[in-house]
Amino acid sequence: MWNDNETDEDLIDCGHLVTAVSNIVDSKNLLPCSIGIFGDWGSGKSSLMRMIENKYSAKPDILVIKFNGWLFEGYEDAKIVLMSKIVDAIVSERTLSEKAISFAAKLLRNIDVIKAGGQLVKYGIGFAAGGPVGMAAVSALDIAKKASEADYTKLLKENKSKLKEDDVKNNIQSFHENFSNLLSETDLDKVLICIDDLDRCSPPTVIGTLEAIKLFLFTKKTAFIIGADERLIKHAVKTRFPEISGDNAEVGRDYLEKLIQFPIRIPPLNATELTNYANLLFAQLHTDEGEFGIAREEILKEKRNKGFDFLFDMKCAGDFLNTVNDELSEALLMCGQIVPVLSVGLNGNPRQCKRFLNTLLLRKGMADSIGIDLKKTVLAKLMLLEYFKPETFRNFYEMQANNQGAIQILDQLEEKNEEQNSNVSQKSKPELEIYQKDKWLINWFKLEPALSGIDLSPYFYFSRDHLSVVSSTAQRLSPEASVVVQKLFSNSKAERNVTLGKLGDLAPADITAVFALITERFRQEEDHSGDLSYMELMFDYASKRSEVKSELITLLGTYPEKGLPAKAATLVARTFKQTEFQDPAIKLLKKWEKSTSNTKLIPFAQKAIKDLNK
């Protein structure tokens, strides 16, 4: 398997993005500057930033400072932490003259005044009381050693009686001057500050960090590189300043555009690019480290020479690798089948793709450990269903559990002869009709290998963790989808409705994952009758996103009628009227009108049938 951390090994060919950043940083006339590395969660922002950091870290006249605001969440005001971190790095990494030490001491005094809001707090003690002990200890120790002649304590006490609230504002100008003077007294050509994971932070931390950046933006020799999902930053801005009038997106956009001078966006990978990425991951796994490093360079070089349609796959793997063993061959063939489907569902997200493949290998490894041979291609095909159609996956689980690992309905669903498809048994036809109307499922049934005739019980056995969707699905949510879930699960009907109207930006995998969490809440809910019930939300969500309609009707077909309120029938008619699922909805309602466990449902089901037949 592969670790889920950032890497400096380029597998998605982002060298041109590194060059774009370097061209800005290397142009002295563009400094000071702020560069935004924008992209979705898992798109490769942290890896790109690491490549940039490595490019400059070895240069003696450039100081690279790495900052992750998420690590300091809840410890200290983000503005103070970032300012202190930058000063700390310069003090600890450079040999300072007496004059430079004096400027450093003044900077620490500036920070204390800003921190205390006009009340002096001794830097070492004040920061240690509120911030991470390790950082504070290093800062205080370095200053104590290097500022012996510039008595910082004495400096703090000077003119104490003259300080007023306005000193905080005055300190900003003073900070600029002292920081600029400090850099002038060092041998640094520039300072490169790399800020990552800002989109993981709470709104106050996001704003505090951005405000600290503004303090430095007019200081010579500085370049800030900020990695974040700009949509979440914009959301944090609006959350932090709700009093500002205007649309949420406009307020956040205007704030960010004023702060970020050079936005660089990492686009989602297309199907070919994601297939190349997945194939490179497996080549890395099954090839000697030294050989893979050389092969990777050659593969990326070939891609640039042949154009964007170049595909590293089984056909050409031997041109770059000395040996292509059976395991790698099987993996490359599998990726060619499943990754194009995965690409659309995951919106070309490298991290999501890696996590999918890691889960596949984890299950394969567990099976191997007890002598069960799971075929990767079969496992991968079932996992696609598990990720993108969890209700159908759950239904198939029940079918195979009651039939010795076989899903008989697959004989018809995977049959490519349409005439034979029409000659299905009356017993199977209702489910067949649902599945044959879902475009995603139609394509999934066509994927190789065919699953009919295979004992699928061991494959479902090692998928049991995902049959309880709460933990597994929540882990797959992007940060943006997590915000959507939070709003949909709020106690405000208005907020729910607004959020339901803004689902268009979510990737298909997120759409499915959010719906899975809603259905799980629906199953746990004791009373489905309220306007804020999860049943109501489930239908509203399906009305907005047609791709989950087959999942909804599959769920309703297996859900105990006794637990449904009468209005469920009305919601069925409203949701499925004049859609491709209208006929399956009518069949479901006809089943409900014969219910013996919920007689209150019967008249509403009858009325709903009439509404659908109009």
pLDDT tens per residue across span 387-429 = 899 899 999 999 999 899 999 889 888 875 444 444 444 444 5
In the block, tokens 């469920």 appear at 568
Q: Please give the Cα distance from 528 to 548 (Å, whole number).
A: 20
Q: Are 530 and 494 in contact (CB under 8 A)?
A: no
- 97 secondary structure, DSSP code: P
In a domain, 431, yes or no: yes
Does one domain contain both 301 and 327?
Answer: yes
Give residue-wise pLDDT tens across range 478-529. Answer: 778 888 999 999 888 999 999 999 888 788 888 998 999 999 999 999 889 8
Q: Please give the residue that has the higher pLDDT: either 324 or 109.
A: 324
What are the residue ranges of helices labelled H in 202-348? 203-216, 230-240, 248-259, 271-285, 289-306, 317-320, 326-345
Does one domain contain both 368 and 314?
Answer: yes
The two tokens of residue 310 are 């170049």
Q: Are 185 and 96 in contact (CB under 8 A)?
A: yes
Q: Which of 72-81, 116-125, 292-301, 440-449 has the lowest mean pLDDT?
A: 116-125
Does one domain contain both 311 and 366?
Answer: yes
- 147 secondary structure, DSSP code: -
Q: Are 522 and 560 in contact (CB under 8 A)?
A: no
pLDDT, residue 145, reads: 42
Give residue-wise pLDDT tens across range 112-171. Answer: 776 665 333 333 333 333 333 333 333 433 443 444 334 444 444 444 444 444 555 566
Q: Annotate 93-108 with b (16+ C-beta within 10 A) or e (fewer).
A: ebebeeebbbbbbbbb
Question: Which residues sit opposite 226 in a β-bridge?
Answer: 36, 195
Give residue-wise pLDDT tens across range 540-589. Answer: 999 999 999 999 999 999 999 998 999 999 999 999 999 999 999 999 99
The 3-state secondary structure of 13-81, one letter per residue? CCHHHHHHHHHHHCCHHHCCEEEEEECCCCCCHHHHHHHHHHHHHCCCCEEEEEEEHHHHCCCCCHHHH
pLDDT, residue 378, reads: 93
Does one domain contain both 499 and 567?
Answer: yes
Last residue of a domain, one of 408, 436, 467: 467
In a domain, 182, yes or no: no
Q: In which order are the strands placed within the sheet that holds 62-68?
A: 62-68, 190-196, 222-228, 33-38, 262-265
Total-model pTM: 0.80
pLDDT, residue 232, reads: 78
Does one domain contain both 517 and 391?
Answer: no
Q: Are 198 and 225 in contact (CB under 8 A)?
A: no
- 95 secondary structure, DSSP code: P
3 state SS of 439: helix
Q: Please give the Cα distance from 279 to 432 (Å, whole number).
A: 35
Last residue of a domain, one of 437, 452, 467: 467
pLDDT, residue 214, reads: 78
In a domain, 252, yes or no: yes
In a domain, 170, yes or no: no
Does one domain contain both 543 and 481?
Answer: yes
Q: Please give the Cα distance from 212 to 215 (Å, whole number).
A: 5
Does one domain contain both 422 and 352?
Answer: yes
In a domain, 177, yes or no: no
How large is the average pLDDT for residues 38-55?
92
pLDDT, residue 197, reads: 86
Is residue 321's pLDDT more than 90? Answer: yes
pLDDT, residue 176, reads: 80
pLDDT, residue 122, reads: 36
Does one domain contain both 213 and 279?
Answer: no
Does one domain contain both 389 and 291?
Answer: yes
In a domain, 175, yes or no: no
Does one domain contain both 429 and 521?
Answer: no
- Domain that includes residue 74, residue range: 1-94+187-267
In a domain, 176, yes or no: no
Instruction: Round to the nearest angstrom and report the end-to-end CA distance of the chain.
Output: 56
Domain count, the chain: 4
Is residue 3's pLDDT more than 60? Answer: yes
Does one domain contain both 291 and 320?
Answer: yes
pLDDT, residue 170, reads: 64
Give residue-wise pLDDT tens across range 228-261. Answer: 888 778 777 777 776 565 555 566 677 778 888 9
User: What is the residue-averaged pLDDT of the chain?
Assistant: 83
In the block, tokens 């008249």 appear at 603
In a domain, 172, yes or no: no
Quickly state the pLDDT bin for 226 (edges 50, 70, 90): very high
Does one domain contain both 314 and 413?
Answer: yes
Last residue of a domain, one of 422, 446, 467: 467
Is residue 286's pLDDT more than 70? Answer: yes
